[in-house]
Amino acid sequence: MSSSSRKSILSKLRQHQRPKVELPNLSEGHWIQYDDPVAQLQKTLEFVGGSFHQVENVGAIENVLANFEEWRAARRVLSLVDEVTGNVCSDEVATPHEFEDLDFVVARGDLAVAENAAVWVDDRQVRHRVCYFITQYLILVVNRDSLVSNMYEAYQRLGQPFPRFGCFISGPSKTADIEQSLVIGAHGCRSMQLFLVG
């Protein structure tokens, strides 16, 4: 059934040729550059509901986190960053459902984009990708030299090999589905903090 539909769809598409159009060369685009990408990142992240911190080194992150009541009260913390202490080991968890009661996830972002505060995470640092979404609070750590201005540069840097799963996360989960009132914390994390290191 399905294979005959495959054949009929493809042959129908081949029957009717459309006039030729070239695929545009995106490397020639005038994509936005920021004089101060860090300031732009901070401004945009705060606009989308996230919090921004800049620290000298990864070791300083825990000191900043200690100021947050949620962090001090947290019971289950999964940290994928060596310098931040956690108490859940990702590899020992057999099914993703066991992450149900995670309070915090601390993870590395490979890349941050100034124009939209998107941070790239993928499944190379963690066995169960659900941790990015099921946790109540999300902390992402990005090196200063992994900050780019726009999405074109971002996709150029992601390069090869492309992971099995990767996600741009921009701020906490949110919804405005009830009368356009913005509510932070829909199904994913209820807060998202970004630490830019260096």
Partner 1 sequence: MAVHSFDHAQQSNRFVQNRERARWHDSALWFVRQKRDRQASMIPEWEELREKASQIKAYTLNNLADLLEEFERQATRVGAVVHWAAHAEEHNQIVHEILQKHRVRRIVKSKSMLTEECHLNPYLESRGIQVVDTDLGEWIVQLRDESPSHIVLPAIHIKKEEVGETFHQHIGTPEGNADPTFLARAARHHLRQKFIGAEAGITGVNFAVAENGSIVICTNEGNADLGVSLPPVHIACMGIEKLIPRLEDLSVFTRLLARSATGQPITSYTSHFRGPLPGGELHIVIVDNGRSNLRESNEFHRSLHCIRCGACMNTCPVYRRSGGHSYGTTVPGPIGSILAPAMKPETYSSLPYACTLCGSCTDVCPVKIDLHHQLLTWRGELAKERRIPVSKRWSMALASIVLRNTRMYQLAGWLGRNALRYLPRFLVYNRWNVWGRSRDFPPPPRRSFRAAYRERNQKRRERKPSP
72-111 residues in contact with partner 1 (CB under 8 A) are: 96-97, 100
Structure tokens at 184: 């932070």
Q: Which stretch binds partner 1 (CB under 8 A): 57-65, 66-74, 78-86, 173-181?
A: 173-181
Q: 13: buried, middle or exposed (CB in 10 Å: 19+, 13-18, 0-12)?
A: exposed
4 to 23, contacts with partner 1 by CB under 8 A? 5-6, 8-10, 12-14, 16-23
116 to 145, contacts with partner 1 by CB under 8 A? 116-118, 127-130, 132-134
21 to 80, contacts with partner 1 by CB under 8 A? 21-24, 26, 29-32, 44, 47-48
Residue from 111, 169, 196, 197 touching partner 1 (CB under 8 A): that is 169
Residue from 70, 124, 176, 198 touching partner 1 (CB under 8 A): that is 176
Residue 175 phi/psi, 5-degree rounding, is: -145, 150
Count of chain residues binding partner 1 (CB under 8 A):
75
Q: In this structure, is the dihedral angle defined by the CA atoms of residues 136, 46, 148 and 59, taken in order, positive or negative?
A: negative
Counting other chains too, the contacts that 160-165 makes at CB distance below 8 Å and 24 or more residues apart are: 163/122, 163/123, 163/124, 164/122, 164/123, 165/122, 165/123, 165/129
Q: Rounded distance, CA 71 to CA 74, Å? A: 5
Tell me: does residue 170 bind partner 1 (CB under 8 A).
Answer: yes
Q: Which stretch binds partner 1 (CB under 8 A): 52-60, 63-71, 103-111, 165-173?
A: 165-173
Could you tell me the smallest distance in angstroms from the CB atom of residue 23 to partner 1?
Answer: 5
